[in-house]
Each structure stands twice: as C-alpha cells, then as structure tokens.
Amino acid sequence: MISLSHVSTTFAGRGKEPLTAVDDVSLHVPRGSIQGIIGFSGAGKSTLLRNINLLERPTSGEVRVAGTELTSLDDAALRKARHQMGMIFQGFNLVNNLTVAQNVELSLKFAGVRDRRERLRRAAEALEIVDITDKTAVYPAQLSGGQKQRVAIARALATKPEVLLCDEPTSALDPFTTATVLQYLADVNREFGITVVIVTHEMDVIKALADNVAVMEDGRVVEEFPAQELTREGFNPRTSIGRYLLSDGITLDRTGRSRTDLPAQDRSGPEDSESVQQNPTLAGAAGGVR
Ligand SMILES: Nc1ncnc2c1ncn2[C@@H]1O[C@H](COP(=O)(O)OP(=O)(O)O)[C@@H](O)[C@H]1O
Ligand SMILES: [Mg+2]
C-alpha cells in the first residue's frame, strides 16, 4: 500500500550545517497492515510520516501510495491523492472555535464535498465510529484528551481514507485512555481495512497495536521485524533501541549507590552518551524526558 524507496529529507540549516532528518529510508507497508515506527525524540519519525503524504516533500527518493508515485504529481492530483490519507497528531489539532461536528465537517469541506447535508451525514457517521455522537454540539475545550483524539480520528476517517497516519496519537494521554484510543485504531483497521502507520516512542503502543515494527535512529530505519517477535522468547533485537523495546521500561537507582559506591570508571550518569548507548534502561529514561 505504501512504498518508500530511498527517501531522504534534508533541512537547510539557518546559517548552520544542513540537517538530514530522514536518511535513505526504504519501507514497504502492506495494504491493511499496521506499521509501527519507534524511536527516540529527534530520530526523524515525524518527518518520515509527513513524507508519506508529502506534507514534507522528501529531498530525494520515491513515495508510492496505492500504486501512485506521489512526488511526480501536480498540485491538483496531489491534493486528491492526499484525501486517501487521514492524519492524527499528539496534540489533536482540533479547531477550538468550531464544534465537534463542525471540526469533522471542515475536513469534508477541504476534501471538496460541496453538499452541506452530505457533509453533515458523513460527519455524523464518522463520529458514530468512535462513539462520540453525544458530543457533536460541544466545543473541543469541553472534551477530555481521549475524547478530543476520538474526534480527531473521526475527522480523519470522514473522507474515507485508505491510509491513516498517526503521529504519537497517545503520547498526551494516560494509560487507560491510551488503551481506548488504540482499540478504536485497531477496530478501524479491522473493519475498514485501513492501512495504519503509527509513530511513537512508547513500546507498549507498538506491542499492543503494530503488525510490523521499524526502529528509527538518526534518520535511518536501523531495524525491522514483525511485532509478534516481541513476545517470542529468545528474540533479541540487533540494536540497543530495539532491545529497549523488550526491557521492562524505566528503572531508576534511588539509593545513590550507583554513583558513589561504584569504582570511578563505572560512575557514569545518563548524561554520559556512552553509557546511554550501552544501557537500554538509561537510554529509555533519557528518551522519556527529552
Ligand atoms: N521543519 C524543520 N526544519 C528544520 N529541522 C527540522 C524540521 N523538522 C524537523 N527537523 C529536525 O529533524 C530532526 C528529526 O525531527 P523529527 O522528524 O521531528 O523527529 P521525531 O519525530 O522522531 O522526534 C530533528 O533534529 C529536528 O530538529
Ligand atoms: Mg515527532
């Protein structure tokens, strides 16, 4: 469904060195699958996701979605192709002075649905998918985080896309609400066959939802594996960040012993990049606070 071929994205640095956010990434996402992309902050995940709908045009490489090479399209054709792709974000990106129904309607307006009644019908239908029909007349400020994200999912689904791009969709939510939102994404994938790409730094999200995992570091996809490998005993990812996926998350030493009682050469803190590299637990903690 999605085929990235040698995609790179370089940002011209203002007076500084140019920065390559996405570096020669090739990735194939089968139709109807859920692709997870995990990596620490700054790895290039958001840029890569935006490369898929050309919100960020790659500096080089090819982007194929449903067989169409997007980088070669003119503006009108690209706009049309983009309507096959919905997107949701960590910060929900709802328009605050529009009601829930109007937010969803707006995306249909942008997609060129001219008939107002048709827009209202489709907005109501989309809001029903995420079980939020009782909130259609309220404004985003009156919603919880989970409800806002459900509205954002409805808005993304209203144009009946084939692909749903999700940029850290649960990173602003508590674990319970995260599970609810992920369940809706899983349902949408199963019921409508929508191909989902989800970018996250949370391994629990990957474990719960993804079919396939790509691990990103420094703009590159450094490792790929089927998500079911994560539960196989003896599975050992090649990279340190890959191994962190299998660790139990953040553990801290609260005795102070690790710094004072150890021989000098072992007294390295999280700011020591060498130890961050070698200790996936510390790497995780550092990634979490960045
Ligand atoms: N529009 C931009 N202009 C310049 N640099 C950018 C831009 N967008 C992202 N970057 C840089 O590219 C790198 C990757 O960013 P991003 O894709 O947001 O990573 P992630 O989503 O994994 O945190 C970072 O170093 C970031 O500062
Ligand atoms: Mg990001």
Res 261: pLDDT: 54
The pTM assigned to this predicted structure is: 0.86
- Ligand 1, closest atom to CA 40? 22
**Residue 180 corresponds to which tokens in the numbers above?**
């609810």
Cβ of 39 closer than 6 Å to ligand 1, yes or no, is: yes
Show the DSSP H helices in 54-174 as ranges: 75-82, 100-110, 116-129, 145-157
Res 263: pLDDT: 53
Considering only CA atoms, which residue is closest to atom 2 of ligand 1? 11
Cβ of 50 closer than 6 Å to ligand 1, yes or no, is: no
Q: What is the mean pLDDT of each run of 10 residues along the chain (290 residues)?
A: 98 87 98 96 96 97 96 93 93 96 95 94 96 96 97 96 97 94 95 96 91 96 93 87 71 72 48 40 38
Res 171: pLDDT: 94
Which residues touch 8 (CB under 8 Å, ≥6 apart)? 20, 22, 23, 24, 25, 58, 59, 60, 61, 219
Mutate to test the pocket of ligand 1, among 47, 51, 199, 222 (most ligand atoms within 8 A of CB): 47
Considering only CA atoms, which residue is closest to atom 14 of ligand 1? 44
Res 252: pLDDT: 78
Q: Tell me how far the alpha carbon of residue 250 lies from the centroid of ligand 1, in angstroms.
A: 25
Res 249: pLDDT: 63
Summarised one tens digit per residue, pLDDT across range 73-104 is: 999 999 989 989 999 999 999 999 999 999 99
Cβ of 21 closer than 6 Å to ligand 1, yes or no, is: yes
Beta bridge partners of 88: 166
Res 259: pLDDT: 58
DSSP 12: P
Summarised one tens digit per residue, pLDDT across range 124-166 is: 999 999 999 999 999 999 999 999 999 999 999 999 999 999 9
Res 284: pLDDT: 40
Res 289: pLDDT: 34
Res 199: pLDDT: 97
